[in-house]
Amino acid sequence: MKIEIEYLKKSLNFFEKNAQKLSRDACDALIIKAAKKIYKLSVESIDLKKLRGVDNAYRIRKGDIRIIFTLDDDHNIVVITVENIDFRGSAYQ
């Protein structure tokens, strides 16, 4: 299984403004852990929750930061699109 991670502009803006809170490498590592947990490839300790009302949408909680992403499974390639990264109250808007 190959994983491709894509970031929307809104997500990239978070890294520019809050580089000290969460780096892109740390975010990539969290997303890979989440994908492994979703596909039951390993037992990962990560706060992951499937969002209701949207197909294949998930939320990762890391302290007061929320990472919202969607998953598109195309046989051998899993494309993960990071929709939004923001602090607790603003992430779901």
Model confidence pLDDT, tens digit, residues 46-80: 999 999 998 899 999 999 999 999 999 887 888 99
Q: What pLDDT, on the 0 to 100 scale, is given for residue 19?
A: 86
Model confidence pLDDT, tens digit, residues 13-52: 999 999 899 999 999 999 999 999 988 888 878 999 999 9
What is the C-alpha separation between 26 and 4, in angstroms, rounded? 15
Which amino acid does the sequence have at 78?
Answer: V
More confident residue, 5 or 88: 5
Residue 90: pLDDT over 80: no
Mind listing the domains of the chain with CATH numbers?
Answer: 2-87 (3.30.2310.20)
